[in-house]
Chains A and B, each alone.
Chain A
């Protein structure tokens, strides 16, 4: 599985868009990019995933570069409840169900 790298921490003003980058330069063609977040001492929560195309759901948008070497998770209007650790995971379907979490980005939304 490709290794992912993320900034250790980021701040974002409440109401503004939070853009969380992830580098996965060694990603292979069959690896999906998954994003999870973990609010303090809770279980990780699924946010979104994608393969090649940009994706959007009710929580966030995922922008994947054309070469697939990096992606950005966008929380369009960050709230205080979005303060969490965000994990980007490169995940191969069909080859087992194991997720290997990277170190994640600690996002703090500031009032």
Chain B
């Protein structure tokens, strides 16, 4: 299985809602990532988890809360979002930073989030 899955594919939420995005991989990867991508822009790194521990937070607002319950699963909890948070949220995974040059990231298809 060389796939990263993300659910849901689409999500519409109000500014007072709490929702979660889910990402799953079964490739034995130990690094997982969240990216945010606005229309016609490149993906922007948000968070990096390495061995289930948060290793990088790119100054993301606290209304985005990541969670890595185990090595296969990555969640992004959303609360009190703003309309400008509407974007494609991409999850990715890779072996780990010690793997050497074979460390390409595998991306999921993304969750299209709309905040009303």
A-to-B contact residues, CB < 8 Å: 32, 34, 41-46, 49, 51, 87, 93-104
Per-position 1/0 for B38-60, Cβ under 8 A of A:
00001111001010000110100
Task: Given A42-B109, A43-B107, A96-B55, answer yes or no on A51-B42 (Cβ-Cβ < 8 Å).
Answer: no
The contact of A97 among B33, B43, B58, B101, by CB within 8 Å, is: B33
B-to-A contact residues, CB < 8 Å: 4, 31, 33, 42-45, 48, 50, 55-56, 58, 88, 90, 92, 94, 96-98, 100-101, 103-110, 112
Can you show 11 pairs from A to B with CB atoms below 8 A apart? A34-B104, A41-B110, A42-B110, A43-B4, A44-B43, A44-B90, A44-B107, A97-B31, A97-B50, A97-B97, A98-B58
Contact B42 A98 (CB under 8 A): no
CB-CB nearest in chain B for A51: B101
| A34, A42, A44, A101: most-surrounded residue (chain B CB, <10 A) | A44
CB-CB nearest in chain A for B102: A49
CB distance from A76 to the nearest CB of B (A): 21
Contact A98 B101 (CB under 8 A): no
A interface secondary structure, majority: loop
Contact A98 B48 (CB under 8 A): yes
Question: What's the Cα separation between A29 and B90 when bound, in Å?
Answer: 30
- For the A-B complex with A96-B56, A96-B97, A97-B55 known, give 5 more contacts whose Cβ atoms are closer than 8 Å: A44-B92, A93-B101, A97-B94, A98-B33, A98-B56
Task: Given A43-B4, A43-B92, A94-B97, answer yes or no on A100-B45 (Cβ-Cβ < 8 Å).
Answer: yes
| Residues on B with beta carbons closer than 8 Å to the beta carbon of A42 | 109-110
Task: Given A43-B108, A96-B48, A97-B48, answer yes or no on A49-B42 (Cβ-Cβ < 8 Å).
Answer: no
CB distance from B103 to the nearest CB of A (A): 6
Contact B104 A49 (CB under 8 A): yes
Contact A32 B101 (CB under 8 A): yes
CB distance from A37 to the nearest CB of B (A): 11
Question: What's the Cα separation between A51 and B103 when bound, in Å?
Answer: 13
| A43, A49, A94: most-surrounded residue (chain B CB, <10 A) | A43
